[in-house]
Amino acid sequence: MPGARLSIFLGKGGVGRTTLASAFAVDRAAAGERVLLVSVIDEDNPASRITHEAAGIDTRGRLELLNLDARALVDDLVRRVTRLGALADYVVKHPGYEGMIDIVPGVRELAILHTLAKKRGEGYDRIVLDPPATGHGIHFLEAPEKSARILAGPLRARAEELRDMLHDPTVTDVVIVTLPEEMPVRETMELAASLRRQGFPLDNVAVNKWLPRVFVDGQSRAVLDKLTRDAKAREAFERSAEGRAPIQVGPWLAALNLVAAQRAEAQGYLGELRGLEGVKLSVVPYIAESSRRLLRVAEAMQQPPEAFA
């Protein structure tokens, strides 16, 4: 099936999947590609976010947004593939139809992928998909294979075509978005293993909300440790600043030690992710302000991890 390249961003809710998918889509459009960014209607709509956070980025009208309603897509797929004409309306309105849809595994995901496959032939260079945050995300990619096992006729044939599309590295690439924390990293490792085992083209793992360099060099770390452990050093520091502003060093030290510990812990998790052979690794720093955030995120995704880690 010739057409646009499909980039699928996976990740559980809260890891920043939508932000990174939007940043990638904006960056590709700015680079000259005609891009379609697709999200599901019950997810965070990226339209307003892109308008605000991509200010100043010239995409020259090459970026389009599409929100999908999975249930409406299922109804449309049934109408088109069964070719029942007016009788299809009776099918989708039948009291047992909803129960039938719930029984068929992955039918909503199948409808989304069916729509993307059609969009691939509409002149786009790339389609970026921000799918629903369901479990690991592997269930979304598995949907065509599972559906093909129980469907028959044209629906089964279409499911098999979509399965082949997702497994073709010349057509599809998968990006996992995660956080430098224990549970997200464990789940990312499991997801990456599942993707490889089932033959899906995992292209990149993006570690989001990476903390800045805080007391990572030996000299700065020694100062922090000295102030933390030595009461006399803290008193001397407070006296030195007393003429400028009265301060209590204790709360400052607690905050600094917390951030430094989080940074050290994140380094360990990044080391685990480096063990994923043949997978590109990106590190996206934590960006507090929203102005031009997508541009900064896109630039970070193109840098080697060493630029921030």
Q: Domain residue spans in the chain?
A: 5-212+279-307
Q: What is the pTM of this model?
A: 0.82
When comparing pLDDT for 309 and 11, which is higher?
11
| Average pLDDT value for the chain | 83
Q: How many angstroms from the chain centroid is the CA of residue 271?
A: 20
Confidence band, pLDDT 50/70/90 cuts, at residue 13: confident
DSSP state of 120: T
Residue-wise pLDDT tens digits, 225-275: 888 888 888 888 777 766 666 667 788 888 888 888 888 899 999 999 999
Could you give the angle at which helices 231-242 and 249-273 cross, rounded to 10 degrees?
Answer: 120
- CATH number 3.40.50.300 given to 5-212+279-307: yes
Residue-wise pLDDT tens digits, 136-168: 578 889 989 988 888 788 878 988 999 999 999
| Residue 105 confidence (pLDDT) above 90 | no
pLDDT at 98: 62
| Residue 1 confidence (pLDDT) above 50 | no
DSSP string, 183-204: HHHHHHHHHHHHHHHTT--EEE
When comparing pLDDT for 58 and 142, which is higher?
142
The H-assigned helical ranges of 15-96 are 17-30, 46-53, 70-82, 87-93
